[in-house]
C-alpha cells in the first residue's frame, strides 16, 4: 500500500513524524514536500498528492496544513478525490467506511502529534463498507462530470 504525503510550511514539522509513523505501520510513502519551512502555498501540495492518488501511483494521500481546511478544499477540486479534514478519529474512520475517502487532511495548528497519529491509524485501518454507501459515493462522482 503506497501513501502520498504533502504539506505546506505550517504542516512541515508534523509531516516527518507522520511519515515515520506510517512507515512503522508498514506503508510505503512518497513525500511530495514541502521540504523546508519557507513560506509556500498549500494548493500546490494538494495538487501533487491528488494527482498521485488519481493516477493510481499512490493508493491514498495525507495532507497537512495549518488547519487542514485549505489543503482539503484544494484536493477536493480534483475529479476522483474525496478528501476529509479531521481533528478526531471517529470522523476519520467513518469517512473511509461510508464515504470512501482517499485523502486525509488535518491541521498542525489543531492537532498534536499523538492525536494526529490516532486519526491516521483509524483512517488507514478502516475499510469502505460499500452497499448503500456505494450509491451515495457514485452520486457524488456524478457531480464531477
**CB of 68 or CB of 89, closer to ligand RB5:** 68
Q: Which of 21, 43, 47, 66 binds ligand RB5 (CB under 6 A)?
A: 66
Structural contact between residues 43 and 57, judged by C-beta atoms closer than 8 angstroms = no
Q: Closest Cα to residue 8, out of 80, 56, 74, 96? A: 74
**CB of 32 or CB of 42, closer to ligand RB5:** 42
67 binds ligand RB5 (CB under 6 A): yes
Structural contact between residues 83 and 101, judged by C-beta atoms closer than 8 angstroms = yes
Q: Which of 3, 4, 10, 81 binds ligand RB5 (CB under 6 A)?
A: 10
Distance CA 5, CA 107 (A): 14
95 binds ligand RB5 (CB under 6 A): no
**CB of 27 or CB of 106, closer to ligand RB5:** 106
Q: Is 98 a catalytic site residue?
A: yes
Count the neighbouring beta carbons within 10 Å of the beta carbon of residue 102: 22
Structural contact between residues 66 and 99, judged by C-beta atoms closer than 8 angstroms = no
Rounded to a whole number of angstroms, the minimum distance from the CB of residue 53 to ligand RB5 is 19
Please, what sign has the CA dihedral across residues 20, 21, 22, 23? positive
Q: Is 7 a catalytic site residue?
A: no
Count the neighbouring beta carbons within 10 Å of the beta carbon of residue 114: 9
33 binds ligand RB5 (CB under 6 A): no
**CB of 33 or CB of 66, closer to ligand RB5:** 66
Q: Which residues bind ligand RB5 (CB under 6 A)?
A: 8, 10, 42, 65-67, 69-70, 107
Amino acid at each position: 500500500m503506497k501513501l502520498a504525503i504533502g504539506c505546506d510550511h505550517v504542516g512541515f514539522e508534523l509531516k516527518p513524524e507522520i511519515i515515520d509513523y506510517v512507515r512503522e505501520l508498514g506503508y510505503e510513502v512518497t513525500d511530495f514536500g514541502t521540504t523546508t519551512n519557507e513560506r509556500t502555498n498549500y494548493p500546490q501540495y494538494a495538487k501533487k498528492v491528488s494527482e498521485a492518488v488519481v493516477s493510481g501511483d499512490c493508493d491514498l494521500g495525507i495532507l497537512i496544513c495549518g488547519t487542514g481546511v485549505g489543503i482539503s478544499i484544494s484536493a477536493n477540486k480534483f475529479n476522483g478525490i474525496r478528501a476529509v479534514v479531521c481533528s478526531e478519529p471517529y470522523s476519520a474512520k467513518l469517512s473511509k467506511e461510508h464515504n470512501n475517502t482517499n485523502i486525509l487532511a488535518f491541521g498542525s495548528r489543531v492537532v498534536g502529534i499523538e492525536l494526529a497519529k490516532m486519526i491516521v491509524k483509524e483512517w488507514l485501518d478502516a475499510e469502505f463498507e460499500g452497499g448503500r454507501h456505494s450509491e451515495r459515493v457514485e452520486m457524488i462522482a456524478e457531480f464531477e462530470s
